[in-house]
Structure formats: structure tokens, C-alpha cells
Amino acid sequence: MRCTEARTLIESYVDGELDLVRNVEVEHHLGDCPACTSMYRDALDLRSRIREEVSYFRASPDLQQRVRALTRQKITEKRRSSVPIWIWSGAVAAVMLLAVITAGLVRREAESSRDQVITQEIVADHVRSLMANHLTDVTSTGQHTVKPWFHGKLDFAPPVNDFAVEGFPLIGGRLDYLDGHPVAALVYQRRLHPINLFVWIAPQKYAEKASPQTRQGYNILIWARDGMTYCAISDVAADEMQTFAALLEK
């Protein structure tokens, strides 16, 4: 893929609107092109700034002054209008309420867009680990081998468990990236199907019980616990993914 083509797709890539093939093509191009990678990071930063810096819609001082002046004028003129003054006050209150509601909707839309970007990155990381045959940096079924491997690579210690008895054996771990930050990727297996479990430190915006969704044919579960965010992704059946998540939520 050439830069000219990749740059036309970056916005769609960030918004999670590409199909799996185009998504992987863009992902590979970003891995080889610093210029396009910079554009991609700028797009992520823009969405982050929208979510964090978007302002509530409030009436400007000029508008507030004009509304007060109009109200005073109506009172002073003492017109016997068929419309009582309380209706004018109600209209002003309705406008202000509408502004607050609109601001809330804008903020929620920005947060939703950000969540979609992160979810798309999770899918891309999962697909890349399968296509590049790079599921693990450390391959081991022992949690006491995998957990120490992350020491010094992350600023937190991801919880590592082996659920071989329950049918979800640990097979290793690796270092991955989400939203420009390193995260732990713990790899489990259900029969012949790998499960990537991403763990990172983030504000606890998700519920403690796993929230399921499907993206590009993969079942995804996201939840938060003890200051950490967890995301499990695989093509394993949805009910089995719920069973896996329940083991981690204990």
C-alpha cells in the first residue's frame, strides 16, 4: 500500500470503518511508514482532545445580558400581554436546559468515538498476533514464569492465572500497545483457539461485569476491576468467552 492510499484511509481506520483486509493492510503500512504513523497518532490525539477538552454549551455573556435586558424591558413596559412573564422565564430556562443536554450528548459522542478507536486497535492487535505468528514473547504454562517476565516492561503488575483445569490453559504472554501505551497481553487457549487477554491501567469507566460485543467476527469482552481494565478477544463462542471472563472476575 502506498502512502497516498493509506492517508485516505487513516480516518476510517481510526473510526473502525474498514473491513478486516483493509484494516490489516493499513496496519502493516503504519508499521513501515513513520510519516503515516504520525498522521495516525494525530488523529488519535484529536479524538482524545475532543473527549477531554470539549466544553459544555453555555449561553455567552452577551446572550445572557440581552435576555436579562429583554426581561427587564417587558416588566418595565407593563404591557398587558396575553403571554405572562413566567412563560418568557420558562422559555429562557428551556433554552439553557437544551444547551446543557446538547453539551452532554456531544461529550458522550466523543467518548463513544474514543471507545470505538480503542476497540478497533484491540481487534487489529489480535489479528496481527495471529497473522504474524507472534502470539507470545514468553511461552510458558506457568504463571510464575509469565508474570515476572513483565517486570520492568510495564509500570504495573498484571494478574496472571492458569485455568487449565477449567479448560482455558495459559500459554504465555507478550508486550503489546493500545492507545500509544504498552499493555500486557496474556494468551490463553480454548481447544485450538487462542484468546488474547489485554490488561492495562485506565480510569475505571467499565463495569466490573464483562460487557460483550462483536467486531469483525470476534467476540470481545471488556470490564474493569481493581483499577485495571481487561479485554478478552477471540473467535471462541460467546458463551465460552463468558465462562472465561467469569473465571477472571472471581
Whether 210 and 223 have beta carbons less than 8 Å apart is answered as yes
pTM: 0.57
**Assigned C-alpha cell, 245:** 471472563
Dump pLDDT digits (tens) for 182-226.
999 999 999 999 999 999 997 667 777 877 899 889 999 999 988
pLDDT score of 3 more than 50: yes
Band (7; pLDDT cuts 50, 70, 90)? confident
Give Dmax (Cα) for the chain: 85
pLDDT score of 80 more than 60: no
Rounded Cα gap, residues 106 and 108, in angstroms: 6
Residues 36-50 have a mean pLDDT of 76
Query: Mean pLDDT highest for which of 34-38, 53-57, 59-63, 169-173?
Result: 169-173
CB contact set of 243 (below 8 Å; sequence gap of 6+): 166
Dump pLDDT digits (tens) for 154-186.
999 999 999 999 999 999 999 998 888 899 999
Quote the pLDDT of residue 101.
56
What superfamily in CATH does domain 135-249 come from?
MucB/RseB, C-terminal domain (3.30.200.100)
Whether 120 and 16 have beta carbons less than 8 Å apart is answered as yes
DSSP 8-state class, residue 54: P
Rounded Cα gap, residues 159 and 186, in angstroms: 9
Nearest Cα residue to 30 out of 119, 124, 122, 129: 124
**Assigned C-alpha cell, 78:** 407593563
Rounded Cα gap, residues 81 and 92, in angstroms: 18
CB contact set of 181 (below 8 Å; sequence gap of 6+): 200
Quote the pLDDT of residue 50.
67
How do the domains of the chain map onto residue ranges? 1-133, 135-249
**Assigned C-alpha cell, 134:** 507472534
State the virtual CA torsion across 172, 191, 238, 222 in degrees, nearest 10. Answer: 0
Rounded Cα gap, residues 56 and 104, in angstroms: 7
Rounded Cα gap, residues 233 and 26, in angstroms: 21
pLDDT score of 93 more than 80: no
